[in-house]
Amino acid sequence: MKQLNGYLQSWLEAYDSRTHRGTGQTPKRRYEDCKESKCHLTAEELKEIFLWEETRTVRKTSVIEVEGNTYDVDSFLRGKKIKIRFNSYDLSYIQVWKDEERFPDAKPAELRNQSHSKVSQMGHEDTPETPVSSYLEQIKKQQDEEKRRELGTTRFASLKEKQTVGGVDHD
């Protein structure tokens, strides 16, 4: 993992210092130029952005089903198509929407599954280990070489020799 993080860091540094054709600036420069105008989202706002959305039809009994779980919803919505929004890792909380209007959250009547089946499948996939691509290795080497050039070839032994002249230390 440490090696992969090193490759990623090198790739990011190479990408951030390459001029973009469309903007004429490097991503790093562009970010620094607009840093002050960036808006920062709260944790709640981020959660809202990443909620999954699906459509359901409310049964005559004011119930919907999601991933084998049943939920009670507002009786006004019987027989109507609604949009539900939820965190795929926590099916105990389901937002209910109809025509861009938010209704009271669905209440779990029977909660058999805590997370969406697609999330469960993603977590159990076996990903074969493959060697790091030569492309990443090349970028890492280029970044290391560039850092060496930037730092120069400072020889600390020669610095110490310059400081001590005739056996007297000039610190």
Interval 5-49: pLDDT, tens: 888 888 888 888 888 888 888 888 887 777 666 667 888 888 899
Domains identified in the chain, total number: 2
Cα 105 to Cα 85: distance, rounded to the nearest angstrom: 10
More confident residue, 55 or 3: 55
Identify whether residues 31 and 69 lie together within a single domain.
no
pLDDT at 87: 94
Instruction: Note down the domain range covering 109.
Output: 39-115
Q: What is the average per-residue pLDDT within 129-149?
A: 75
pLDDT for residue 89 is more than 70? yes
pLDDT at 3: 86
Residue 43 lies in a domain: yes
DSSP one-letter code for 154: -
Identify whether residues 31 and 43 lie together within a single domain.
no
Residue 150 lies in a domain: no
pLDDT at 68: 93
pLDDT for residue 168 is more than 80? no
Identify whether residues 44 and 24 lie together within a single domain.
no
Residue 68 lies in a domain: yes
Identify whether residues 76 and 100 lie together within a single domain.
yes
Could you tell me which residues come within 8 angstroms of residue 132 by beta carbon, excluding any fewer than 6 positions away? 3, 4, 7
Identify whether residues 82 and 21 lie together within a single domain.
no
More confident residue, 58 or 157: 58
Identify whether residues 13 and 48 lie together within a single domain.
no
Q: Buried (b) or exposed (e) across 115-142, using 16+ Cβ within 10 A?
A: ebeebeeeeeeeeeeeeeeeebeebbee
Residue 165 lies in a domain: no
**Could you tell me the maximum CA-CA distance found in the chain, to the nearest angstrom?**
99
